[in-house]
Amino acid sequence: MKRTALKLGDVVSELRALRLKSLENRQRRDRPPKLPSRKVLVSIADGLRAVLFPNRLGMPDLTNESVDYYVGHTLDVTLRELMVQVRRELRFAGDADATGNSERERAAGITQAFAQRLPRIRSLLESDIQAAYEGDPAARSVDEVLVCYPGITAITYYRLAHDLHRLGAPLIARMISEIAHSSTGIEIHPGAQIGGFFFIDHGTGVVIGETAVIGEHVRLYQAVTLGAKRFPVDEHGALVKGNLRHPIVEDDVVIYAGATILGRITIGRGSTIGGNVWLTRSVPPGSVISQAQTRNEVFDGGAGI
């Protein structure tokens, strides 16, 4: 079969011109530094999950004698890969370090600090798994919850990403959270603060925004949004970044499927928010809010996460 020649010279030239224009807009006229690799971060996240739960998510033939060796080896390989990706982020961000530490030293410090937080992450995840097991009558064992429930998968990625976010690797943290989003349909920004015994049942369509604060023993169902009510802009019309714009959910709250809770409001301890509720005001502890109670609320200003 004769191969048809495609005329691509003009396309390549136009793409180059657009690329160079983009670099000028970013004030980077030389070759920009490489971003962290999504493909490598998928491998890193898998390695970290295996380290946290080696008997369930690690190698299938581990014994009591070999498990510590496996954890140590996997942790060493995974953290070395993570350190390379952190260096990439630091180089890309180009932030000056007031202490004079090199990118290598800073990346090593972030990675070491993250490693020291892994036992705490494991403990939090055990509480989340227990909450899912106790909160779902269909769950037959905690092992089933760990390996089957998308909510636990998303929370695992979130807890890893959250500590990386706090330690100074926000881009890697966001990429890890979006890897979970792609596979589970659950979007949790790594900047959100979430206490222990957190349970997302079913989960598809759940959105938790950057500045949301969630207490302990909180349960969400599918399609719940903890989002922003409006996006303020500065005098130039640009969005104001980092303001506190997402809800605070106190301990022992249940939010049923399809509920949308927007703005920096507080859902008081022990409250129950019914399905499909649209809520833009704070409610006191012990409240029970139904769709009928909130359907006359006026909403303006745009919405988002």
Cβ(207)–Cβ(305) below 8 Å: yes
In a domain, 11, yes or no: no
Q: What is the CATH number of the domain that holds 227?
A: 2.160.10.10
Q: Are both 239 and 155 inside the same structural domain?
A: no
- Tell whether 10 is covered by a domain: no
pLDDT number for residue 1? 62
Q: Check whether residue 55 and residue 133 sit in a common domain.
A: yes
Residue 4 belongs to some domain of the structure: no
- Write down the pLDDT at residue 294: 63
**156 shares its domain with 274:** no
Residues 39 and 147 in one domain: yes
Claim to verify: residue 218 and residue 171 sit in the same structural domain: no
Is residue 198 one of the residues assigned to a domain?
no
Residues 144 and 237 in one domain: no
At residue 98, the pLDDT reads: 46
Same-domain pairing of 43 and 150: yes
Entry pTM: 0.88
By residue range, what is the domain housing residue 252?
Answer: 205-305
Could you tell me if 253 and 272 are in contact, meaning their C-beta atoms sit under 8 angstroms apart?
Answer: yes
Residues 262, 158 share a domain: no
18 in any annotated domain:
no
Say which residue the tokens 């004079």 belong to.
100
Using CA atoms, how far apart are residues 82 and 115, in angstroms rounded to an integer? 10
Q: In a structure prediction context, what are the per-residue pLDDT tens digits for the chain, which is 305 residues long?
A: 677 788 888 999 998 888 888 766 665 545 567 899 999 999 999 999 999 999 999 998 889 899 999 999 999 999 999 999 999 999 998 855 545 568 999 999 999 999 999 999 999 999 999 999 999 999 999 999 999 999 999 999 999 999 999 999 999 999 999 999 999 999 999 999 999 999 999 999 999 999 999 999 999 999 999 999 988 888 888 888 889 999 999 999 999 999 999 999 999 999 999 999 999 999 999 999 998 776 555 545 555 56
Q: Is residue 251 part of a domain?
A: yes
Amino acid at 241: K
Picking from 186, 221, 247, the residue at the C-terminal end of a domain is 186
CATH code, domain carrying 54: 1.10.3130.10
- Clarify whether residues 96 and 142 are in a common domain: yes
CB neighbour list of residue 225: distance below 8 Å, 6 or more residues apart: 206, 207, 259, 260, 261, 262, 305
**166/222 same-domain check:** no
Q: How many domains does the structure of the chain reveal?
A: 2
- Is 54 a domain residue? yes
Which of 125, 159, 186 terminates a domain? The answer is: 186
Looking at 135, 159, 186, which one is the last position of a domain? Answer: 186
Q: Identify whether residues 157 and 214 lie together within a single domain.
A: no
- Tell whether 219 and 154 lie within a shared domain: no
| Domain annotation covers residue 196 | no
